[in-house]
Amino acid sequence: MFVLHVNGEQRAVDVPADMPLLWVLRDIVGLTGTKFGCGVAQCGACTVHLDGQAVRSCVLPVSAVGDKAITTIEAVGKTPSGHKIQQAWLDVDVVQCGYCQSGQIMSAAALLARTSSPTDADIDAAMSGNICRCGTYVRIRAAIKQAATGKSDALQTIAPGAAGAP
């Protein structure tokens, strides 16, 4: 039995000690925003925060989490950097299929929390562990800069659009 601190709530889970945090979150806690992409920390789709640090939950045994605070995509918007990143993601309209974007946003939010004005090299270092097969990288870079500076770095302005997707 492990007691996890997930998004500000305590969750007791009865799972094997070697079970990766990813599957605890998805299959036991029921938070499916964190995604399975590779299972070997190659793609970053499973990125969550442990005490604000970006980690790959697909290779993190639940027994290694301890009492560290887990933040997932579902709650990162409550952090200042997470909120800024999500807003910039909307303003630049980064997402395509969106499957990797939970992980992208978690990596970017952790970057912004520790580096308020990231350079291109900072972005490369923080984001190169996150693969996007749709190829949204140009907009990811623009959105991180926009979140940092508040100034539009997008190639074009995206007008707010619809709500109410299934």
Partner 1 sequence: MRARGTTPILGRGIHSGNDGGSDSGSHSEVGNSNSKENGNGSHNDSEVDVVRRNALKLSGLTIAFLWTGTRGTASAAINARRQPGDAAAAVADGNPPFAPNAFVRVDADGSVRLVMPNVEMGQGIYTGACMMLAEELDVGMDQIKVEHAPPNEELYSMPLLGGQITGGSTSTRGHWGVLREAGAVARSMLVAAAAERWHVDPATCTVSRGVVTHQSSKRSLGFGALAKSAGALPTPAKVTLKDPKAFALIGKPLRRVDSADKVKGATQFGIDVHVPGMKIATVKACPTFGGRLVGINDKRTRAIPGVIAVIQLDSAVAVVGEHFWAAKQGLEALDIEWDLGDNATLSTAKLREALADKSQSGTPIVAREAGKKPTDGKLVEAVYQSPMLAHATMEPLNTTVWVTADKCQIWVGTQVPTRCVAVAAKITGLPEDKIELHNQYLGGGFGRRLETDSVEQAVNLAKQVSYPIKVIWTREEDIRHDIVRPMYYDRISALLDSNGRPIWYGDRVTGGTVLGRWAPMAMEKNGLDSDAVECVAEVPYDIPNLKVEWVRHDMPEGLIVGWWRGVGPTHNLFVVESFMDELAHTAGKDPLEYRRALLQKNPRSLALLNLAAEKIGWSSKPLPARVGRGIALGEPFGSRVCVIVEAEVTPQGEVLLRRAVVALDCGIAINPSSVEAQVQGGLVFGLSAALYSGITVKHGAIEQSNFHDYRSLRINETPLIELHCIASDQPPGGLGEVGTAIAAPALGNAIFAATGVRLRSLPVDRASLVQNSEALKTVVAENVGGEETGQGARVSRGELA
Task: Report the site for partner 1 in 4-43 (rule: CB under 8 A).
Answer: 15-16, 19-20, 23, 26-28, 30-40, 42-43
Q: Which of 6, 60, 132, 148 binds partner 1 (CB under 8 A)?
A: 132
Site map for partner 1, 45-74, x if CB under 8 A? x--------------------------xxx
96 contributes a contact to partner 1 by CB under 8 A: yes
Number of residues that bind partner 1 (CB under 8 A): 74
Is the Cβ of residue 53 or residue 128 nearer to partner 1 in the bound state? 128
**For residue 84, what are its two tokens?**
């800024």
45 within 8 A of 102, measured Cβ to Cβ: yes
Q: Which stretch binds partner 1 (CB under 8 A): 4-12, 49-57, 63-71, 152-160?
A: 152-160
Residue 55 near residue 48, CB atoms below 8 Å? yes
**166 forms part of the interface with partner 1 (CB under 8 A):** yes
Dmax over CA atoms of the chain, in Å, equals 51
Contact 127, 104 (CB under 8 A): yes
Class of residue 43 by CB neighbours under 10 A (exposed 0-12, middle 13-18, buried 19+) = buried
Q: Which range touches partner 1 (CB under 8 A), out of 49-57, 63-71, 110-118, 137-145?
A: 137-145
Identify whether the C-beta of residue 76 lies closer than 8 Å to the C-beta of residue 31.
no
Whole-angstrom Cα distance, residue 32 to residue 34? 5
